[in-house]
Structure 1
Amino acid sequence: MTAQQNWAISILEDGFGRVRDSVEHVVFGLSPARLVEQPSPETNSVGWILWHLTRITDDHFAALAHVLGGGEPPAGRGHPMPPGQIWNEWRARFGTPYPEQSTGYGHSPEDVAAFPRIEPQILGDYQDAVHERAVEILRGISEEDLGTVVDRRWNPPVTAAVRLVSILNDATQHVGQAAYVKGLLDSR
Structure 2
Amino acid sequence: MTTSAELLTDHFGRVDELVHDVTAGLSDADLARRPDAAAGAGNPIGWLVWHLLRVQDDHVAEAFGTGQVWTDDGWAGRFGLDLDPGDTGFGHSDQQVDAVRTTADLLVGYGEAVHARTVSHLGTLTDDDLSRILPPTHGAGVSLGERLVSVLGDDLQHAGQAAYLRGLFGI
TM-score (norm 2): 0.91
Where do 1:125-144 residues align within 5 Å? 125-144=109-128
Paired residue total: 166
Between the aligned partners of 2:13 and 2:32, the Cα distance in structure 1 is: 25
Which residue among 54, 70, 74 is the counterpart of 1:87?
Answer: 70
Q: CA deviation at 1:143?
A: 3.1
Q: Secondary structure at the match of 2:108?
A: helix
Report the residue type matching 2:145 in the other structure.
A
Between the aligned partners of 1:97 and 1:158, the Cα distance in structure 2 is: 32
Unaligned stretches of 5+ residues in structure 1 = 67-82
Between the aligned partners of 2:99 and 2:32, the Cα distance in structure 1 is: 9
Which residue among 57, 61, 84 is the counterpart of 1:99?
Answer: 84
Q: Secondary structure at the match of 1:99?
A: coil
Aligned residue number for residue 120 of structure 1: 104
2:165 is the counterpart of 1:165: no
Aligned residue number for residue 57 of structure 1: 56
Aligned residue number for residue 30 of structure 2: 34
Which residue among 153, 171, 182 is the counterpart of 2:166?
Answer: 182
Q: Secondary structure at the match of 2:91?
A: coil
The CA RMSD over aligned residues, in Å, is 1.6
1:19–1:175 CA contact under 8 A, matched in 2:
yes
More helix by share: 2
Q: Secondary structure at the match of 2:134?
A: strand
Between the aligned partners of 2:137 and 2:69, the Cα distance in structure 1 is: 24
TM-score (norm 1): 0.83
Q: What is the percent sequence identity of the aligned residues?
A: 39
Q: CA deviation at 1:181?
A: 1.2
2:5–2:127 CA contact under 8 A, matched in 1:
no
Structure 1 stretches of 4+ with a deviation exceeding 4 A read 153-156
Aligned residue number for residue 25 of structure 1: 21
Q: Secondary structure at the match of 2:125?
A: coil
2:47–2:100 CA contact under 8 A, matched in 1:
yes
